[in-house]
């Protein structure tokens, strides 16, 4: 049993067969955490487009955008207005992109996600520890470069647009409880994914364009595509 599960539920379900895939809830082979896309719609899209699948650590928790107090934390990213939980429009997707690129900052700085430091404090800490006279804008742009390089790596490894999708169970409500009357709308999800691609500077298949790679000063990545 240990050998069967060692590579995750996706591959285990493929070996077991008999409908096991319907029960193996994952995105790109990564099992889903407690954060459910049926409640947090933008986070669900973040799962789908993430280079690692259902990863909530470089993602957006939609609920933080829904009230006046919590929205204040996003002011350094020029996000000032609350956005309804169910919204999947351009403003929500803009927030998803900005926050995802910021959360990637924690990864490349090797910082714990659970420290209570804000955007400006992390920028100050980075300056103090490294001697790098950087800015919040520059840190986020590095995050954007990392996101695009990871995307290019996946494309080289033959991930395609069809992999930017959720497990089928999220397109249906739960059978009971708080999420028994809501689910992810596949058409709305597909439209949001296409808008996300355009905002990222990717083409209709989710491939970073030469233009965005040159804007990020990583045009050497073109050779991977």
Please state the domain extents for the chain. 1-31, 35-224
Averaged in consecutive runs of 10 residues, what is the pLDDT profile of the chain (225 residues)?
93 95 95 95 97 95 93 93 95 97 94 91 96 96 97 96 97 94 96 98 97 96 88
CB 144 within 8 A of CB 199: no
CB 101 within 8 A of CB 144: yes
pTM value is 0.94
Q: What is the pLDDT of residues 21-43, one digit of tens each?
A: 999 999 999 999 999 999 999 99
- Choices 3.40.50.2300, 1.10.599.10, 3.90.480.10, 1.10.760.10: CATH for 35-224: 1.10.599.10
Residue in this structure with the two tokens 């959360």, named with its chain if needed = 103
The whole-angstrom separation of Cα 97 and Cα 201 is 11
The whole-angstrom separation of Cα 216 and Cα 25 is 35
């Amino acid at each position: 049993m240990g050998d069967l599960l060692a590579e995750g539920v996706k591959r285990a379900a493929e070996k077991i067969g008999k409908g096991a895939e319907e029960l193996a809830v994952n995105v790109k082979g990564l099992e889903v955490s407690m954060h459910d896309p049926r409640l947090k719609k933008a986070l669900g899209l973040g799962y789908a487009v993430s280079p690692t699948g259902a990863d909530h650590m470089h993602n957006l928790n939609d609920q933080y955008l829904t009230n006046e107090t919590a929205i204040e934390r996003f002011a350094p990213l020029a996000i000032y207005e609350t956005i309804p939980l169910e919204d999947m429009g351009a403003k929500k997707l803009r927030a998803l992109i900005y926050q995802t690129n910021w959360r990637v900052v924690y990864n490349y700085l090797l910082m714990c996600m659970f420290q209570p430091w804000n955007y400006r404090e992390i920028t100050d800490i980075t300056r103090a520890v490294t001697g790098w006279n950087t800015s919040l804008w520059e840190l986020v742009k590095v995050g954007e470069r990392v996101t695009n390089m990871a995307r290019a790596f996946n494309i080289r490894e033959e991930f395609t647009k069809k992999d930017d999708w959720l497990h089928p169970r999220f397109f249906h409500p739960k059978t009971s409880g708080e999420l028994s009357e809501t689910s992810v709308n596949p058409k709305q999800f597909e439209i949001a994914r296409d808008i996300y691609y355009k905002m990222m500077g990717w083409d209709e298949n989710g491939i970073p364009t030469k233009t965005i790679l040159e804007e990020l000063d990583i045009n050497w990545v073109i050779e991977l595509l």
